[in-house]
Homo-oligomer: A and B are copies of this chain.
C-alpha cells in the first residue's frame, strides 16, 4: 500500500462546515487538504490550480452553484472526482448533480469514518451513494409516476400551483384550454395522481416545484 495521501479541496459557503471538514481531514491519517473555496467559481479555480484527487462540493452556494461548478470541472477535463455534500437525503439537486458528473454523495451528518471511506472511494473513482439516494435513483427508474415531466407540462403545473384556473393558464401560455387539460391529464398520469392538488403535492415531494 502506498502511503500517498488523498488530496482534497473543500468547497462550502458555510465557514463552520469548511472549518469542521478541514479539521477532520487534516487531523486524520492519509488526507491532505489543499484548499478551501466558498463558492463554485472559486472551487473550480482551486481545483485547476492544485489538481486535487477529490473536491468536496456543497450544492447550494451563492455565486456559482455546485451543479454548474461540477459541469465546469468536467468540461475542463480535470481529473479530480467530485463528492457532493448534502444536508438532507431528500435534496432535490442530487440527481442533476449526478448527471453533471459527480462521483458520489456525502451526507454532512455522516460519522467521521464514513467521510473517510467515502473520500477514499471517490479518489479511486468508485461511486459513493447513501442508501436513501440510491433508492431514490432506483425509484426514479421504475415504479409508477417515474417519467419526467416535459417542459410544457412543468409550465402548466407551475401555474396550477399558483391557483391559476385552466382558462387563465391557457391565456398565459397562448394555447387553448383543451391543450391545458390535455397536459394536465398527462401530468396526472406521470405523477400517479388524480387531481391538481395532489399533483402539486407530489411535485413538491420530488423537488419539481419549490
> What is the interface of chain A, defined by CB distance below 8 A to chain B?
13-21, 23-24, 87, 108-112, 115, 160-163, 165, 193-201, 204-205, 209-210
Nearest neighbor of A158 in chain B, beta-carbon distance: B201
Number of copies: 2
Summarize A's interface: helix, strand, loop or mixed.
helix
State the CA gap A204–B90 with chains docked (Å). 14
Nearest neighbor of A19 in chain B, beta-carbon distance: B20
Task: Decide: B194 and A201 in contact? CB cutoff 8 A.
Answer: no
Task: Decide: A19 and B14 in contact? CB cutoff 8 A.
Answer: no
Least CB distance, A56 to chain B, in whole angstroms: 10
A-B contact pairs, 7 of them (CB 8 A): A15-B20, A16-B17, A16-B20, A16-B24, A16-B109, A17-B20, A19-B19
Contacts of A160 in B (CB 8 A): 197
Q: Nearest 8 CB-CB pairs, A to B?
A: A20-B20, A163-B198, A161-B201, A16-B20, A14-B109, A204-B204, A196-B197, A19-B20
